Amino acid sequence: MNKNRNDKQQMKEELQGSSLDFIGNKTNKKKVFIETYGCQMNMNDSEIVASILSKKGYNTTTDIEQADLILLNTCSIRDKAERTIRNRLQHFNGLKKAHPKTKIGLMGCMAERLKEKILEEEQLVDLVVGPDAYRDLPHLINELEDGRKAVNVLLSKEETYADIEPVRLNSNGVSAFVSITRGCDNMCTFCVVPFTRGRERSRNPKSILAEIQNLSDRNFKEVTLLGQNVDSYLWYGGGLKKDFAAQDEETKKNAVDFAQLLDLVATNFPKIRIRFATSNPQDFSLEVIKSMAKHRNIAKHIHLPVQSGSDRILALMNRKHSIAAYKEKIDAIRQYIPDVSISQDMIAGFSTETEQDHQATLALMDYVKYDFGFMFAYSVRPGTLGAKKMEDDVPHHIKLRRLREIIDKQQEHSLYRMKQFEGKEVEVLIEGNSKKSDQHWMGRNSQNAVVIFEKKGNFQPGDFVQVKIDDCTSATLFGKPVV
Ligand code: SAH
Ligand code: F3S
């Protein structure tokens, strides 16, 4: 059991640093190497960028030495994420000496946050492009080819990249990300995302359905609908979410919200398993729960980050719900979908957090018994209200001790939840070989638990298989296919 300690936590860390590989080598084409850090949205953005660059004559490569252009798709969420990227840039010094013509670009949140300044701080960098400016890449690359440095960090009111078909990078051919909203209007006081990804806007449902149709035609079996705050999805013809209130009655009546979008996608694609992330509790509605309960092809998993179990801290974080309201939502979810799994994000040691607040977090965890979670020590982000108005006054060692206690508790609950599957049959979508043994398949059940099972019977990746669970750790289920 111990070896799997914090597997889920590690999984998130590992996402930071996975290089993407899509090889479509044609001679005389230029090559781009894209390395992606951070969230699933960044992974999907890298796929969008690969698509935009393919029209400019660039194929992706997994061999950095071959690259004409290296793009780091960066993350700013915590200080550590930015430091990782700075270290990675250091590493490119040698590479740039060996290949002086190779251009290096920063895209993503760190590009947006630091803008031109990064060109002074990191002499190696030739290109800086923010999350809403990827369409401008062909033009920015022309600038590079003319020997100039290039920057575009404009944020947009409309951009959703709706018409761009992502090049599926590092794909298992089974599961794909589909972005449905961009930006976030919530302004949680610890969070840099509203500054790096701009105001919230939603994508036309028609283009979402078309993208999923395309994936379905190519035999994909699972999609994850992505947004910083998916439950706030609202299509009313385009434009910012905040401008919805000023629309006429007819426009408002015809708008599509997230519950309706889920219903549309689930109805149109009964054979596709649908996931979504991330839900902010304040925007997660009963209607969404009902849509989930109605469709068996919507995965029974909700990622519902709460950050803290203390009302006082939630208010300081500008999270617009109470713990009582959160618990009511959890109860309603379990009432409609009894076998649902629920996961969390928690922040340990936010400004002014007392031992009592911390105990409230642990108590909330005992109430919900989350299936898994992603847990972090608070990291002040420049520009946020947390940085401007609040003191980062919890000593580092106390943050780490509280984080440890939160992780340990999660570990207990994860094991408790996984044990509930023992002796039961679960439906698993096979994603590929188990990392540790090619005699075993790896897949996930509806609740998003990783399942490893023996290769008995004639199955292949993309098949849904009934598996009888006979063992587990806190992070993995083990079993045999029912054949
Ligand atoms: N809605 C987003 C949340 C983005 S950040 C999503 O799609 O996941 C992911 C998680 O990182 C947050 O839920 C929070 O727990 C954590 N986080 C964000 N800012 C942080 C900070 N300044 N310090 C520590 N953790 C942070
Ligand atoms: Fe960040 Fe809060 Fe939005 S965590 S992404 S500001 S919902």
C-alpha count within 13 angstroms, C-beta hemisphere, residue 296: 3
44-54: per-residue pLDDT in tens?
A: 999 999 999 99
Closest ligand (CA of 12): 1
Closest ligand (CA of 184): 2
Closest ligand (CA of 406): 1
Q: Quick check: is 399 in a domain?
A: yes
Closest ligand (CA of 81): 1
Query: Does residue 134 line the site of ligand 1, with CB under 6 A?
Result: no
131-140: per-residue pLDDT in tens?
A: 999 999 999 9
pLDDT beyond 70 at 2:
no
Query: Is the CA virtual torsion 390, 396, 397, 400 positive or negative?
Result: positive
Closest CA to 265 of 288, 298, 242: 298
Q: Token pair 């519950």 is at which residue?
A: 259
| Residues 206, 131 share a domain | no
198-233: per-residue pLDDT in tens?
A: 999 999 999 999 999 999 999 999 999 999 999 999
Mean pLDDT of 260-265: 98
The residue range of the domain holding 380 is: 175-419
Closest CA to 258 of 215, 300, 296, 226: 226
Q: Is the whole model's pTM more than 0.75, yes or no?
A: yes
Domain count, the chain: 3
Q: Which pLDDT band, with edges at 50, 70 and 90, does 28 fall under?
A: low
pLDDT beyond 70 at 11:
no
| Residues 215, 336 share a domain | yes
> Atom 7 in ligand 2: which residue has the minimum CA distance?
186
Q: Quick check: is 158 in a domain?
A: no
Q: Ligand 1 pocket test: which of 345, 379, 392, 403 has the largest number of ligand atoms within 8 Å of its C-beta?
A: 345
405-454: per-residue pLDDT in tens?
A: 999 999 999 999 999 999 999 999 999 999 999 999 999 999 999 999 99
Q: Quick check: is 71 in a domain?
A: yes
| Residues 401, 339 share a domain | yes
How far does residue 214's CA lie from ligand 1's centre (Å)?
31
Which of 403, 419, 435 lies at the terminal end of a domain, its last residue?
Answer: 419
Q: Which pLDDT band, with edges at 50, 70 and 90, does 20 fall under?
A: very low
Nearest atom (ligand 1) to Cα of 41: 7
| Residues 268, 246 share a domain | yes
Q: Ligand 1 pocket test: which of 190, 233, 282, 283 has the largest number of ligand atoms within 8 Å of its C-beta?
A: 190
Helix (H, G, I), strand (E, B) or coil at 179: strand
pLDDT beyond 50 at 365:
yes
For residue 51, what is the domain's CATH number?
A: 3.40.50.12160
174-205: per-residue pLDDT in tens?
A: 999 999 999 999 999 999 999 999 999 999 99
DSSP E strands: which ranges in 91-155? Answer: 103-108, 127-129, 150-152
Of 234 and 23, the one with more pLDDT: 234
For residue 469, what is the domain's CATH number?
A: 2.40.50.140
Q: Quick check: is 137 in a domain?
A: yes
| Residues 111, 215 share a domain | no
Element housing 378 (H / E): none
Query: Does residue 137 line the site of ligand 2, with CB under 6 A?
Result: no
Query: Does residue 229 line the site of ligand 2, with CB under 6 A?
Result: yes
| Residues 333, 184 share a domain | yes
For residue 187, what pLDDT is reported?
95
| Residues 430, 413 share a domain | no
| Residues 374, 250 share a domain | yes
Spatial separation of the C-alpha atoms in residues 477 and 453, rounded to whole Å:
8
| Residues 239, 380 share a domain | yes
Q: What is the DSSP string of 188-213?
A: -TT--HHHHH-S-EE--HHHHHHHHH
Q: Quick check: is 170 in a domain?
A: no
CA distances for 481 relative to 43, 221, 222, 361, 460, angstroms: 32, 19, 20, 39, 12
Averaged pLDDT score across all residues of the chain: 94
| Residues 401, 373 share a domain | yes
Q: Quick check: is 317 in a domain?
A: yes
| Residues 187, 44 share a domain | no
